[in-house]
Amino acid sequence: MTKQQFLALQSIGFDMSQKRKTYDRTVLDKNWDKKFNELVEFKQKHGNCDVAVRKGFEEYKQLANWAGLQRRKFKAKQTGNKA
């Protein structure tokens, strides 16, 4: 962060000392398992895991977003970047 960026944040009252929110790992794992099971059901119904938001598949928007996030996390891990 540049000094100019720091001063810009400070000028609007941004709290630099606030810690990141912590998340309950068990809740995150439960949510991941739920989406994984939805993906399993999608594959059973459609024969593939190519869940995407397209005409006729609007009901799968959240699952498509989750699947995209999994792909981004995998690619980030492969390249050593953050997702």
| Per-residue pLDDT tens digits of the chain, which is 83 residues long | 899 998 998 899 988 887 777 788 898 999 999 999 999 999 999 999 999 877 777 889 999 999 999 999 999 989 988 75
- Grouping H, G, I as helix, E, B as strand and the rest as coil, residue 63 is helix
Cα–Cα distance between 47 and 5 in angstroms, integer?
A: 49
- Give the pTM: 0.66
pLDDT score of 37: 96
Cα–Cα distance between 17 and 28 in angstroms, integer?
A: 25
pLDDT score of 83: 57
Is residue 42 a contact partner of residue 51, using CB atoms and an 8 Å limit? yes
pLDDT score of 34: 96
Distance of CA 35 to the CA centre of its chain: 12
Residue type, 26: T
